[in-house]
Amino acid sequence: MKKEKYILLTGGTGFLGSHILRAFINKKKKVILIKRKKSSLWRISDLNNQYRSFDIENINIKEIFNQFKIDTVVHTACIYGRNNELSSEVVKSNLTFGLELLEAAIQSGTNYFFNTDTFLPKNMNFYTISKKQFVEWLQIYSSQIKVVNFKLEHMFGPKDGNTKFVTWLISMFAENTNEINLTKGEQKRDFIYVDDVVNAYLKIYDLRRKFDNFTEFYVGTGKPIQLKYFVRKLKKIYEINKNKVNTKLNFGALPYVENEVMESLADNTDLKKTGWSPKTKLSADLKKTVLSWDSAQKKIS
């Protein structure tokens, strides 16, 4: 009897992964989720019994590939290193785990490996070094499995964690913090709404048989926005939809970090050739993010 084909998803309890999980389920795809035992399920609590789940601490990755026919791995799990994790912990999560997953996929005959990468350069921090090193391994192994690497720009949307820039700002406004110290805000970023990112994954999944062994897509709107403008815009949207705040934005109070990226925008030409196009509307999507923040905090707490 022929085995049913599954998508194996990592990071499915996180921000992007939970949105991808929901989208695959809506598309009637069979999904297996690998997660940590301590992972909170608040983002996907309404999806009970619609996917299979395994705690990585309780099972060997190879056992999952042996038990199920995995057609595609979608790898979104990572550690950013924002909670004082040791460099060894960041490497273990972002590089070693990825390699174990990749090797198991190849040994079992899995056809496709989708990786989640970042627009940030390799030399910024432990996170970016480990992420870029894993991409180098993916290139080496791409003769044995088809790899699609998604280089994501600055993503935002509902259900993101409070260590991320947009939701951190919202939390500061919600507390009516006296002041927020910021850099000059001259940096330009390509802000993209999470639904656009998810739609990129879905589009490439549908077309996965057509690509070369290693294919890379830059996922962003292609339109950079100055950080100072973005922060002021977010504050204004918060005040319109929530409450007036007295928070002072101290632009220039902080220095730029070493190796600061002053302008980043996605060259999404190849992605748009697949039929994907960004639908991000900054004001409307920031409003949705702001309005969803309170309910997310209740679930986190």
Residues paired with residue 189 on neighbouring β-strands, in sequence order: 225
CB contact at 8 A, 153 and 264: yes
Tell me how crowded residue 70 is: count the other CB atoms within 10 A of its CB: 22
**Catalytic, out of 6, 51, 112, 127:** 127
Give 252-279 pLDDT, tens digit per residue.
999 998 889 999 999 999 999 999 999 9
- CA pair distance 8, 129, nearest whole angstrom: 25
- CA pair distance 160, 95, nearest whole angstrom: 23
115 vs 4 pLDDT, higher one: 115
Instruction: Assign 253 to helix, strand or coil.
Output: coil
- CA pair distance 6, 52, nearest whole angstrom: 10
Q: Which pLDDT belongs to residue 298?
A: 52
Give 22-66 pLDDT, tens digit per residue.
999 999 999 999 999 999 999 999 998 899 999 999 999 999 999
Mean pLDDT score across all residues of the chain? 95
Q: Which pLDDT belongs to residue 301?
A: 47
CB burial of 26-49 (b: ≥16 within 10 Å; e: otherwise) equals eeebbbbbbbeeebebebbeebee
Is the pLDDT confidence value at 295 over 70?
no
The single-letter code of the amino acid at 281 is K
User: Any catalytic annotation for residue 127?
Assistant: yes
pTM of the predicted model as reported, rounded to 2 decimal places: 0.95
Tally of residues, the chain: 301
Kindly state the tokens that stand for 24.
């695959």
Q: Which pLDDT belongs to residue 172?
A: 96
Q: Which pLDDT belongs to residue 296?
A: 66
Q: Mean pLDDT across the stretch 182-204?
A: 98
Instruction: Assign 259 to helix, strand or coil.
Output: coil
Listing DSSP states for 151-214 in one string gives EE-EEE-TT--TTSHHHHHHHHHHTT-SEEEE-----EE-EEEHHHHHHHHHHHHHTGGGS-SE
* Alpha-carbon distances of 183 from 92, 178, 272, 279, rounded to whole Å: 32, 17, 33, 29
Q: Which pLDDT belongs to residue 48?
A: 86
CB contact at 8 A, 149 and 136: no
- CA pair distance 118, 149, nearest whole angstrom: 10
Is the pLDDT confidence value at 153 over 60?
yes
CA 111 centroid distance within chain: 22
Is the pLDDT confidence value at 219 over 90?
yes
- CA pair distance 285, 41, nearest whole angstrom: 24
Is the pLDDT confidence value at 181 over 90?
yes
The domain limits of the chain are 5-152
Q: Which pLDDT belongs to residue 62?
A: 96
Is the pLDDT confidence value at 216 over 50?
yes
Q: Does domain 5-152 have CATH number 3.40.50.720?
A: yes
Is the pLDDT confidence value at 130 over 80?
yes
